[in-house]
Amino acid sequence: MTTNEDYPLKKVCIICAKGSIEDVYASLIMANGAVMEGIETKVFFTFFGLDAITKKQMKKLHTGTIGNPAMRMPGGLPFPTILGMLPGVEAGVSAMMKKQMADLDIPPVDEFLEMITAGGGEIYACKLAAEMFKLKKKDFSDEVSDIITVGDFYAMCNGQGTQIIFT
């Protein structure tokens, strides 16, 4: 039987392709955890994940209320998907989630990005998605190292002991 000591994790490359609070924070928490463990960390934001690193959008992320089978109401009952279509429900659920995160001292997106890069992690934007959404380097957080192709990102992720994670 092999153990983690036989094949140590040296690098994680995380791809964030969705822009909901729960998807973005999954990427940020995993990236920050890797940095804190001394693991080389690179995060690539593509398609709607770009919202997390776009200055105008990063503070406006929402929770996906429609088609989310894991969504629960207070008390643990399943959240009826049809409620997510009602005006104001998504904003209310998002505000509730942001408050719960603040109560737990979970930093906002911009602070998380700063923590990751301060610890040596690298943040990248997808060139194709940036072109599709007509975004330039100036539109992104200062923590974004560069706008690169997916091929460039994969080249950075090459090597033994590397794990690629798609969120």
- For 32-88, the pLDDT digits (tens) are 999 999 999 999 999 999 999 999 999 999 887 776 767 777 777 777 777 777 787
Burial of residue 121 (number of CB atoms within 10 Å: 0-12, 13-18, 19+):
buried
Residue with tokens 């992104």: 140
Distance CA 108, CA 60 (A): 11
Lowest mean pLDDT among 18-22, 23-27, 63-67: 63-67
Distance CA 25, CA 107 (A): 10
Q: Give the phi and the psi of residue 36 in degrees, each rounded to 5.
A: -65, -25
- Domains of the chain, each with CATH number or no CATH: 11-62+109-166 (3.40.1260.10)
Whether residue 5 is predicted with pLDDT greater than 80 in this model: the reply is no
What per-residue confidence (pLDDT) applies to 67?
67
Fill in the amino acid letter for 78.
P
pTM of the entire predicted model: 0.87
- In the predicted model, what is the mean pLDDT of the chain? 89
